[in-house]
């Protein structure tokens, strides 16, 4: 069958053959302009999906490097001291307790109210992390936090880009399909009108 002989029958051709027939530069005069437009949009969406992979990788690497440097700087200023609970812990919420503690660092005493475990009691020793201003702060970040940040950025970029490309293809396909339906309805009415006039 010549490629100029007829439209491809939906479902009769393989997906590869159908994609080849729908190429925008196909000289077949039976290929509608809207079909060419849809093919161009599909090509653009495919290119966007492919380009998004190295872009997401670069952004993920940048996010990881930046977050790792920030974490190293923050954690380098943190110091652990051994503190003593000076009163019975109080329960704030379910599984959340806090208690006043006291410590000595470089000959200087310090006090604060920090979170403790549910099993802590008066006189127990707990570890308190202090920042550069000798104030209680959070413990050092666990290993892998920066890596997870980088992975998260990469995944978000990929998912957002691929969803945008998918939406472009599906949305344009839906609009063009509606356009085709409306065009066919108009052509059918134009064709049916002379037939009714001839039968009157």
What ranges do the domains of the chain cover?
Answer: 15-24+31-77+143-175, 79-137
- CA atoms within a 13 Å half-sphere pointing along the CA-CB vector of 197: 6
Q: Is 85 helix (H, G, I), strand (E, B) or coil?
A: strand
What angle, rounded to 10 degrees, do the helices at 145-199 and 33-76 form?
160
Confidence of residue 4 (pLDDT cuts 50, 70, 90): very low
Please report the pLDDT score of residue 21 as a whole number. Answer: 54
Reported pTM = 0.62
136 token code pair: 């209680």
Percent of the chain exceeding pLDDT 90 equals 45
Please report the pLDDT score of residue 188 as a whole number. Answer: 74
Q: Is the pLDDT of residue 3 over 50?
A: no
Cβ 64 vs Cβ 71: under 8 Å? no
Q: Is the pLDDT of residue 7 over 50?
A: no
**Pick from 146, 140, 141: which is nearest to 61 by CA?**
146
Average pLDDT, the chain: 81
Confidence of residue 18 (pLDDT cuts 50, 70, 90): low
The residues facing 108 across adjacent strands are 105
Cβ 130 vs Cβ 78: under 8 Å? yes
């Amino acid at each position: 069958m010549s490629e100029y002989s007829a439209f491809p029958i939906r479902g009769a051709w393989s997906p590869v053959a159908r994609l080849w027939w729908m190429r925008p530069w196909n000289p077949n005069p039976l290929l509608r302009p809207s079909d060419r437009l849809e093919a161009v949009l599909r090509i653009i969406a495919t290119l966007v999906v492919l380009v998004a992979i190295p872009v997401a990788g670069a952004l993920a690497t940048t996010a990881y490097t930046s977050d790792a440097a920030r974490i190293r700087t923050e954690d380098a200023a943190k110091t652990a001291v051994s503190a003593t609970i000076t009163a019975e812990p109080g329960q704030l919420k379910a599984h959340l307790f806090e208690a006043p503690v006291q410590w000595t660092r470089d000959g200087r005493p310090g006090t604060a109210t920090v979170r403790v475990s549910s099993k802590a009691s008066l006189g127990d020793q707990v570890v308190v992390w202090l920042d550069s201003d000798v104030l209680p702060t959070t413990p050092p970040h666990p290993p892998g936090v920066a890596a997870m940040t980088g992975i998260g950025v990469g995944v978000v970029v990929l998912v957002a880009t691929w969803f945008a490309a998918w939406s472009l293809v599906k949305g344009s396909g839906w609009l063009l399909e509606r356009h085709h339906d409306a065009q066919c309805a108009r052509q059918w009415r134009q064709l049916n009108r002379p037939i009714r006039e001839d039968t009157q």
